[in-house]
Amino acid sequence: MKRRQIGRATLILALALLMVSDPVSAGRSAVLAAGQPVAEIGGSSRELNRQSGDALPAAARRQRRSKGLSLGQLKRKYPDTLMVQGPRLRIVALTFDDVPDPRFTPQLLEVLRRNHVKATFFVVGSRAEKHPRIIAQMVRDGHSIGNHSYNHPEFGRLSMPEFQSQIIRTENILRAQTGFKPRLIRPPYGDISEPQVRWARDRGYKIVNWNVDSLDWKSLPKTQVRNNILAHAGKGAVILQHGGGGQSSNLQGTIQALPEVIRILRKRGYTFVTVPQMLEYGGAQKSK
Ligand SMILES: [Zn+2]
């Protein structure tokens, strides 16, 4: 059973603990998800287990890594490499994982365009290969792009060469499509080990997790997606949403919630920035 191994596998999302409003049902969903990895890209790959989104299930979070540091420890030890939020300014970053997906990503791009918001998209390499036009549109629209692996494995279970190949393979695809290499990495499920963080640091990457989880991978209706975001989004928030999913996932809630999320956060005085812009603000604040 794939999911059972998660127990020993993973570190994780200490912050998500704060964000999951209903850890019991989250845990239950994870259990349901266990036996049904979603085959989606190319049919043979079982990479994107949509049912668990990018937040690891509660059961996994409760488990401590038998070896290695927790995510919280890694964040304290490598503050310049691993981020979950930006500086405490009235800025927030919308981030969308598991793109591109022709069912959902173009609609999100349209909403963002209408509202003049730049966001950050974390791209799965195998999907980018299939939908290069959506990647081109993201770049034309001025969004930032990060690396979300080639086929969405849990990094904590990979050997170093496997991990590196996930990053580099996707990077090469994106470089061919866009002309640049993304410097941002978002690990699937937020899961990453210390040697992997060090490898990323030594090569100048930033690992970008999140501190606000919309839980939209559960195919939630618009009001719940909106409330999950608005209840937790504060200064410097990095907000996790999805712009793609497995066969059974429905992200209409995400798409429909977005205009309201934007309107209400603006009303509260927040400005939307990309993750690279947020990092610049952080750097400026530090050097003061
Ligand atoms: Zn993902």
Tell me which of 131, 143, 148, 242 is the catalytic residue. 242
- For position 68, what pLDDT does the model report? 85
104 C-alpha vs ligand 1 centroid, how far in Å?
Answer: 14
Q: What is the DSSP letter of 270?
A: -
β-pairing, 212-213 with 271-272?
unpaired
Reduced to 3 states, what is the DSSP secondary structure of residue 239? strand
- In the structure, ligand 1 is a single-atom ion and the residues with CB under 5 Å from it are 54, 97-98, 188
Q: Is 152 a catalytic residue?
A: no
- For position 286, what pLDDT does the model report? 65
Q: How many CA atoms lie within 13 A of 280 on its CB side?
A: 5
51 C-alpha vs ligand 1 centroid, how far in Å?
Answer: 10
- For position 115, what pLDDT does the model report? 98
- Which distant-in-sequence residues (6+ apart) come within 8 Å of 40 by Cβ? 47, 48, 50, 246, 247
Tell me which of 54, 97, 98, 101 is the catalytic residue. 97
Query: Roughly what angle, to the nearest 10 degrees, separates helices 105-114 and 132-140?
Result: 10
* pTM for the predicted model, two decimal places: 0.81
Tell me the C-alpha distance between 112 and 203, whole Å.
32
- For position 93, what pLDDT does the model report? 98
List of domains in the chain: 76-286 (3.20.20.370)
3-state helix, strand, coil in the chain (%, to 5): 50, 10, 40
202 C-alpha vs ligand 1 centroid, how far in Å?
Answer: 24
What's the token pair of residue 4?
């059972």
Tell me the C-alpha distance between 92 and 224, whole Å.
19
123 C-alpha vs ligand 1 centroid, how far in Å?
Answer: 9
Report cis status (omega within 30 of 0) of the bond before 100.
yes
* CA dihedral of 88, 224, 247, 129, whole degrees rounded to 10: -20
- For position 56, what pLDDT does the model report? 57
287 C-alpha vs ligand 1 centroid, how far in Å?
Answer: 33
- For position 47, what pLDDT does the model report? 42
Low-confidence ranges of the chain (pLDDT < 50): 1-47, 50-51, 58-59, 61-66
Q: pLDDT tens digit string along 120-152?
A: 999 999 999 999 999 999 999 999 999 999 999
Q: Is 242 a catalytic residue?
A: yes
Beta bridge partners of 146: 122
